[in-house]
Structure formats: structure tokens, C-alpha cells
Structure 1
Amino acid sequence: MTNANDVSGPLDRYLSILEVVLASKQGLTLAELCKILDLPKPTAHRLVSALSSAKALEVADEGLKTYRVGARMSRMLQLGRSDSALINYCQVVCNELVSELEETCYVVKLTPQSAHTIAVAVTEHGYRMHVGEGAVMPMHAAASSKILLAHQDEASRRRYLSGPLEKLTPFTITSVRQVLTEIEKAKKDGYATCVGEVDPSTKAYAVPVSSPVGVFYSVGVTGPQFRIDKRPMAYWIEHLRDAAQKLERILEMPHLDGAQFATGPRGATARRPERKAAG
């Protein structure tokens, strides 16, 4: 049995591999890992294989078999970079959701000026598209921002849609009247969609996340349209709503001050969205 105080045990070797791979930035080959850590090749291979199976490492270059930090470890590191407990919780929910859906998942927050991502978990397919950390979502085109507008009052909707609406792709709607019609439909449906409106090859779904002060968060999923369309819409909406419910429970926790998330339209209030059947 390994002594818990024995720093040379298996756990320490796993952590040592992760440390040197992180330090390398570009990744390391098995031979380099053996040399740096003074490990026998069979031992290093076994440890690296276990870390790769757990998605803590991944192969960056098949030819040279260069190992770099994997998707799961990258998500864990994101949690350590945020000072906000709320953003950390959102990241955890995104991490769980991306493992279920295998497409890029994200949480978007509505502020008085715009809507932007506060947590993103990228699929292992590597498709991040227009969704990145802190990305501003087009109010008239993105599913995540449209479902947020759906739960604001009429004056707030028009304020967010004031000014020229950019024609991002041939499918982008630039008529305020048409966007407002789509937003109203999203409110009735309980979800919003974006089909090629931000990126012509992608599709996205988003649902609202209610809080004690209204609806100022949404959770979404996006990916190449051909992959998203392989599953029925109800499949995506069901998973998104489950994630939204987790976030709603988090937002009700007493140690999260309402001031952290009451940053939507000034003076605006919103009702909690009704749960509707998808499809």
C-alpha cells in the first residue's frame, strides 16, 4: 500500500507529467518526458496512457506523438483562472454539458450594453466557432442573446436592437420588426435558434436561465449544422433545460449576492420562463 505521505507515489508521477507538459507550452514527446522526469519508458507510457484516457492529456502531433494538455485538464484550469464563484459554477455546468452533448456549450450573460459569454466549454472536435471567452453575442442573430431579449420588456428589446443590425451572413435578419417577431416566438417556445445567422455553417440552440431577479442568463450549444441536425431538436433542448435548471438552483444559493447577476437592463424585471415541451 502506498503511504499517503510518499510524494514519489503514482499520484505524484501523474502530477509531475502534467506539470512539465504545462510548462512546455508546445507539448512533449514520450522520450522527452522520460528524460525530464527520469522515468523508465514503460512507466512513462503507462502513466501517459492513463492520463490520455482520462482526457487530461491528448496527442498534439501523431507523427512525433507529442503530448499536450487535454480537454478535461483545460476545463479544470479555466476554473482556477476566474475570481468569480458564479462564473466558476457556470463553467462546471458547461463542462458537464459538453461531455454529454459533444458540442461547444456556453453560458451568456446580459448586461446593460450587450450579451457576452462568461463560460465556454469547447468540444473535443475543436470547433469553437464564434463562441469564445468573453465573446459579445450579436443581439439580433445569436440564439443565446435572442432568448435573453425574449424575457425583457418591449422598451429594453428595442434599445438593444437600436442602430443598424449587421448583416453577418446571407441568413442574418436585419429588420427590427422581423427580429422582434422571432424573439416573441422564442418566448412562447421556451428556446431560441440560430441557423447560419452568425456563421453560415453553424447552428445553435439556447434556453433561458431564470434567477431571483429575472432572466439575465442563457445556456446554449452550437456546432456545425450537419452534426447538430443529426439529432432531433428536442434532444438538444432537453439537455439545455437540465443545465439551465442546475444554474437556477445555483443562482438561488444564499451566498451568491443578487448584485452579482442583477446587471440586465436598468430597472428591468422579468418573469421566470414557463417550462414548455420541446417540439
Structure 2
Amino acid sequence: MAGNTRTPGTTVTQRIVALLGAFDEHHRRLPLTHLAERAGLAPPTAHRLAAELVAGGLLERRGDGTYAVGRRVWDLGLLAAVQTDLRAAAAPFLHDIYAATLATVHLAVREGTEVLYVERLSGRASVPIISTVGSRLPAHATGVGKVLLAHAPPAVVEEVVGAPLRRLTAYTVVQPGTLLHQLAAARRDGYATTVEEVSPGACSLAVPVRRGSAPDAPVVAALGVVVPSLKRDRPRLLASLRTAAAGISRSL
């Protein structure tokens, strides 16, 4: 929930930011009362500002009276540097991986202790998973997340292991010591894996994407695939991912 914007001195901009921030992956549609509550606004204020945002295309009012994020927010989001530069550089390589494997292909960046999925390719033959473009998942439970945590500042890793690790399935790693061992292995080996940590029947393999081809260039994203099993095709998938990541890094 956004901060208490009923506080005297709150600006109109802060109230608008609070309204837009009331939406997340688990709250895609909100009735006015819930929207006002999550934004910390009085209902009349929320109603007035929401109407202005609907008129501007930033919010959409559905037929049942609930509010949802409007198309204009998506249009603006596509202009963000993480979207334009990274997605443009990665696009041809993602399509190559998908064509060769028919697996779900992910491109993700770190936001705090979570991973933000900026691109995803999948088809009918792909393993059913819960990630979507723009969604976030706990970094400790995903292949791309473990790669990004492995190269994150120490303070970020300390924040992750210092808090209870969220369990998504029976196989999610929730022991801090085990996670730290996996992060060390990801730094050493140049890749990370998961086995059914987010969704039953889904295993992932991921590698870092660096800004530049130097071995010590900063890691800016992670590239991964999701498949039913890694027992047979791991070497082939890893080679494809590393080739694609190197190509993206050169483009960046």
C-alpha cells in the first residue's frame, strides 16, 4: 500500500502516484473503495483523481465499475530505457533461442529483491508458467533471479537472506545457507538452475547478460529458459543461452 497521502501537504502529483501505485500483479482491478484505501486517499479525492486519469488514458474504468491501469501507461513504459535498449538488443537472440528449443524464454532485470520480466517468448509446446511481461517474482526462487542475485551488491543479498524466504512450491529453496551456496556456484559456473521452485513441472536455466563483452562488465540482465527437465538437454540449452547472452552483451 502507498504511504498515507491524507497527510497535510501532500501534493497532487504524490496522490496520482499513490493511485497508480495501488495496482500490482495481485491487484489488477480495483473498485473505488479499495483503490482509495490502497492509495491512502479519501474516497472523494480518489474518485475525482481517478476520473481525471481515466480521461487521460492512464486508468480505465471497466463495465463493472472497477478501475484498471490504462493503455497509456503501457505505451509510456515502453519508452523506459530498460525496455527500449535491452529489449531491442535482445529481440533477435530471444527469437533464435525459442525457434531452436520451443521452450519459454525469459529476459529479466532485478528490481530490489525481485525480478522484473521485461520479455517472454512461449508457445503451445512450452511449459505452463506464471510469469508474464511486466510481472515480478521473488529473485531467490527463479533461475534468472539467482543469476541476478549472484551479481547483486552485498547489501541486496543480505536483505534477501535476512528476511524469511517465500515458499512458492514444496521445492522452493528457503534455507539462507543453501541459497548462498547456489549464488556462489552461479558466480563460479556462470549460470543458475531451479527445479520446480516456482511452478510444478517447470525447471529453469539462466545466464547473465553483461553491458559489454569484457568478462568483468556489469551484469544488467539475465537470460533464461524454462523446460520440463534439465537432465538431458542442459549442455545444449546452456550453449544456446551463452551464445545469445554474448550477442546481447556485444549489442549493449
> Normalising by the residue count of structure 2, what TM-score does the alignment of the two structures yield?
0.61
Q: Distance in 2 between matches of 1:113 and 1:188?
A: 21
One-letter code aligned to 2:219:
V
Corresponding residue to 1:229 among 206, 228, 231: 231
Q: Distance in 2 between matches of 1:209 and 1:133?
A: 18
- Whichever of the two has the greater Rg, that structure is 1
Residue 177 of structure 1, CA deviation: 1.8
User: Is residue 142–residue 198 contact of structure 2 (8 Å, CA) maintained in 1?
Assistant: yes
Structure 2: runs of 5+ lacking an equivalent = 1-76
Query: Secondary structure of the residue that 1:140 maps to in structure 2?
Result: helix
Corresponding residue for residue 149 of structure 1: 149
One-letter code aligned to 1:236:
L
Corresponding residue for residue 85 of structure 1: 84
- Number of aligned positions between the proteins: 168
Residue 124 of structure 1, CA deviation: 3.8
Q: Distance in 2 between matches of 1:90 and 1:162?
A: 33
Taking every aligned residue pair, what percent have the same amino acid on both sides?
24
Structure 1: runs of 5+ lacking an equivalent = 1-80, 252-279
Corresponding residue for residue 174 of structure 1: 174
User: Is residue 149–residue 183 contact of structure 1 (8 Å, CA) maintained in 2?
Assistant: yes
User: Is residue 168–residue 198 contact of structure 1 (8 Å, CA) maintained in 2?
Assistant: yes
Residue 128 of structure 1, CA deviation: 4.2
Residue 126 of structure 1, CA deviation: 4.8
User: 1:177-212: CA deviations, max 9, x gaps?
Assistant: 221111111111110001011112111100011115
Corresponding residue for residue 55 of structure 1: none
Query: Secondary structure of the residue that 2:98 maps to in structure 1?
Result: helix
Corresponding residue to 1:215 among 213, 219, 240: 219
Q: Distance in 2 between matches of 1:121 and 1:203?
A: 16
Residue 241 of structure 1, CA deviation: 0.4
Matches within 5 A, 1:1-279: 82-83=78-79, 84-86=83-85, 87-211=87-211, 214-225=218-229, 228-231=230-233, 233-251=234-252
> Normalising by the residue count of structure 1, what TM-score does the alignment of the two structures yield?
0.56
Residue 138 of structure 1, CA deviation: 1.9
Corresponding residue for residue 276 of structure 1: none
Query: Secondary structure of the residue that 2:109 maps to in structure 1?
Result: strand
The structure-2 alpha-carbon separation of the partners of 1:202 and 1:129, relative to structure 1 and needing over 3 Å to count, comes to same
Query: Secondary structure of the residue that 1:99 maps to in structure 2?
Result: helix
**Cα RMSD (Å):** 2.0
